[in-house]
């Protein structure tokens, strides 16, 4: 540490932190699909933007077996950050799909209080599936003995918001006294994020039984559906303080010299449309950093007709005519399975390969990347380079192509996202004509049945001026 930094750090004395309750406006129980939740963050405090946690009970009602997605953040269709009533981030009505896209590339680090991502209710060798009854309970239970793990008044599940202003802003510590009221407004997703089935039996011998198909929810029933309800919602956030006034002095000095405080953050725009060889989109931004794209089977919208899960380590090619996301009859040996390898993939979040002759490239103002169309394997390598993350080794290539096929192109300096540096394509003041182009005949008869889902990741900036004035540079 250099002498100047050491001097100032020694003067930032009396550091302390505490966890505070975040107030929720409106009802905190009996929340159902499409309801809104508004959380008001503490005022006049230095808040840790990464520390917001939302806890709740979740219950599901259905006449058949039903199951919620493994990551309960997918229950949120829209997440907005408001400062004095002004929206900070771009409008994104597909937050759950955005979370699913980023998961396929970057993985998911769910905490201990997250919704279980496993299939078995009682250990790896259990023959009892989670959600075996007509409704997944709001409290955890041992299906073998029936003993309750949580009481009804407890909050079993805790969710961390990702891909939002709070999860990406730098610095992560924000002095809320410089801003008008900061609120997080969450719109709940429709009931279509749930999975339903009439057959969730497990073969004798459990998950490691040889030459068995240990898949829950392996059949569906038309016309059936499920609903969910959130109760006992609570939220918390960490705030810090200093006993000295040095921090306030530094902020005042920055405001005086520059005229504003800069808070860069990651911003996302999403586009979903029927794909017929090309998908067009436009945007205006100072820095387009990355473009993610994936394909969703257009028929995968109804719970009771097309929502099915899949195994992570699938070795059977799924026919799009069946419904992607569902593992057809499998004969994997016991040695092929590892603990926790079974994953739920409702078809609403199943990203499949639409054609066996598939190739793709992106056109931006008639400039192509890559220069020629490339196939799935090359797209996988380009995605690894673009994100700096190796695609999960536990996922087979075939499984990736049938349930996890997400690709990414990068236009920013490597590592720039870590420092919120605006080094991507600048579209301000010009027309941005973008197209996702594909070749190959899609495998669904003559009627287009695949939707493209495109995510544009941008580096935006919030500028805080004197008098709690805020301006957003997209």
Predicted confidence (pLDDT) per residue in 129-141, tens digit: 444 444 454 444 4
Question: 457 burial class (0-12, 13-18, 19+ CB within 10 angstroms)?
Answer: buried
3-state secondary structure of 82: strand
DSSP E strands in 275-388: the ranges are 278-281, 288-297, 310-311, 342-343, 359-364, 367-374
Residue 237's DSSP bridge partners are 20
Cβ neighbors of 354 (< 8 A, separation 6 or more) are 275, 295, 320, 438, 440, 442, 443, 444, 450
Is the confidence at residue 121, as pLDDT, over 50? no
Confidence tier at 303 by pLDDT (50, 70, 90): very low
| Angstrom distance (rounded) from CA 329 to CA 288 | 43
CB atoms within 10 A of CB 309: 25
- Strand pairing category for 359-364 and 367-374: antiparallel
pLDDT at residue 22 in the model: 93
Q: Is 290 exposed, middle or buried (0-12, 13-18, 19+ CB in 10 A)?
A: buried
Q: What is the mean pLDDT of residues 399-406?
A: 78
Q: Could you write out the DSSP letters of every residue in 255-306? A: HHHHSSEEEEEEEEEEEEEE-SSEEEE----S-EEEEEEEEEETTTT-HHHH
The answer to whether residues 401 and 353 touch, using CB atoms and an 8 Å cutoff, is yes
For residue 186, the cross-strand partners are 37, 79
pLDDT for the residue numbered 423: 80
CA separation for the pair 382, 374 (Å, rounded): 10
> How many whole angstroms separate alpha carbon 122 and alpha carbon 310?
20
Q: Find, among 319, 151, 155, 305, the residue nearest to 233 by Cα.
A: 155
C-alpha to C-alpha distance for 289 and 386, rounded to whole angstroms? 10
For 18-30, what is each residue's pLDDT tens digit?
Answer: 899 998 998 999 9
| pLDDT score of 389 | 82
Nearest to 76 by CA among 235, 218, 222, 221: 235
Tokens of 238: 């960490």
What is the C-alpha R_g of the chain?
24
**Confidence band, pLDDT 50/70/90 cuts, at residue 322:** very low
pLDDT tens for 221-280 read: 556 677 888 988 999 999 988 777 777 777 788 788 878 888 899 999 999 998 888 999
323: left (phi over 0), alpha (psi -120 to 50) or beta: left
* Whole-number pLDDT of residue 127: 44
pLDDT > 70: percent of the chain: 66
Report yes or no: 193 and 227 within 8 Å, Cβ to Cβ.
no
Q: Which residue has the higher pLDDT, 422 or 268?
A: 268
More confident residue, 440 or 453: 453
Give the pLDDT confidence score for residue 42 in this predicted structure: 92
Q: What token pair was written down for 406?
A: 């997400």
Helix (H) or strand (E) holding 187: strand 182-188
The pTM for the full model equals 0.82
Q: Which helix (H) or strand (E) segment is 253 a member of?
A: helix 246-258
Tens digit of each residue's pLDDT (9 = 90 or more) over 179-210:
899 999 999 999 888 776 654 444 444 333 33
Residue-wise pLDDT for 58-81, tens only, equals 887 777 666 777 788 999 999 999
Domain ranges of the chain: 15-473
Q: Which residue has the higher pLDDT, 220 or 357?
A: 357
**Residue 22 three-state SS:** coil
CA angle 227, 232, 233 (to 5 degrees): 90
Query: Buried (b) or exposed (e) across 232-243, using 16+ Cβ within 10 A?
Result: bbebebbbeeee
Query: Could you tell me if 68 and 229 are in contact, meaning their C-beta atoms sit under 8 angstroms apart?
Result: no
Tokens of 403: 């349930």
Q: Which residue from 78, 310, 302 is spatially nearest to 184, judged by alpha carbons?
A: 78
pLDDT score of 145 more than 70: no
The first and second tokens of residue 412, run together, are 């920013």
Residue owning tokens 């078809």: 347
Pick the range with the lowest mean pLDDT from 55-69, 242-256, 326-340, 353-367: 326-340
Give the whole-angstrom CA distance, residue 172 versus residue 265: 10
**CA distances for 135 relative to 62, 197, 332, angstroms:** 6, 11, 30
Q: How far does the chain reach from its first CA to its final CA, in angstroms? A: 35
The SS3 call for residue 312 is coil
């Amino acid at each position: 540490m250099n002498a100047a930094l050491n001097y100032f750090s020694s003067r930032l004395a009396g550091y302390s932190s505490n966890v505070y309750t975040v107030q929720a406006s409106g009802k905190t129980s009996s929340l159902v699909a499409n309801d809104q939740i508004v959380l008001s963050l503490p005022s006049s405090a230095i808040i840790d933007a990464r520390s917001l946690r939302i806890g709740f009970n979740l219950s599901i009602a259905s006449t058949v077996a039903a199951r919620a997605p493994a990551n309960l953040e997918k229950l949120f269709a829209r997440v907005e950050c408001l400062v004095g009533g002004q929206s900070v981030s771009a409008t994104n009505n597909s937050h759950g799909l955005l979370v699913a896209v980023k998961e396929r590339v970057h993985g998911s680090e769910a905490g201990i209080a997250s919704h279980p991502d496993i299939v078995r209710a009682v250990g790896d060798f259990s023959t009892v599936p989670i959600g075996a009854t007509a409704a997944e309970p709001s409290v955890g239970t041992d299906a073998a003995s029936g003993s309750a793990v949580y009481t009804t008044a407890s909050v079993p599940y805790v969710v961390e918001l990702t891909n939002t202003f709070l999860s990406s802003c730098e610095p992560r510590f924000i002095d809320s006294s410089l801003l008008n009221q900061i609120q997080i407004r969450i719109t709940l997703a429709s009931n279509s994020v749930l999975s339903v089935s009439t057959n969730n039996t497990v073969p004798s011998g459990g998950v490691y039984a040889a030459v068995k198909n240990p898949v829950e929810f392996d059949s569906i029933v038309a016309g059936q559906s499920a609903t969910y309800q959130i109760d006992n919602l609570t939220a918390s956030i960490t705030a810090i303080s200093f006993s000295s006034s040095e921090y306030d002095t530094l902020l005042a000095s920055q405001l005086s010299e520059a005229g504003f405080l800069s808070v860069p953050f990651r911003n996302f725009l999403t586009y979903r449309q029927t794909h017929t060889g090309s998908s067009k989109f436009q945007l205006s931004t100072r820095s387009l950093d990355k473009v993610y794209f994936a394909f969703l089977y257009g028929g995968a919208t109804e719970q009771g007709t097309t929502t099915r899960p899949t195994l992570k380590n699938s070795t059977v090619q799924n026919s799009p005519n069946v419904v992607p996301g569902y593992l057809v009859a499998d004969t994997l040996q016991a040695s092929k399975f590892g603990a926790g390898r079974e994953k739920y993939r409702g078809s609403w979040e199943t990203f499949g390969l639409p054609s066996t002759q598939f190739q793709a490239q992106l056109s931006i103002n008639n400039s192509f990347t890559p220069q020629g169309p490339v196939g799935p394997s090359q797209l996988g390598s380009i995605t690894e380079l673009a994100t700096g993350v190796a695609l999960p080794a536990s996922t087979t290539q075939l499984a990736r192509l049938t349930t996890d096929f997400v690709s990414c192109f990068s236009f920013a300096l490597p590592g720039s996202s870590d420092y919120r540096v605006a080094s991507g394509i600048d579209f301000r003041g010009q027309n941005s004509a973008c197209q996702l182009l594909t070749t190959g005949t899609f495998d669904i008869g003559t009627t287009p049945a695949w939707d493209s889902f495109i995510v544009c990741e941008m580096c935006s900036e919030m500028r805080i001026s004197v008098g709690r004035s805020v301006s957003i540079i997209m």
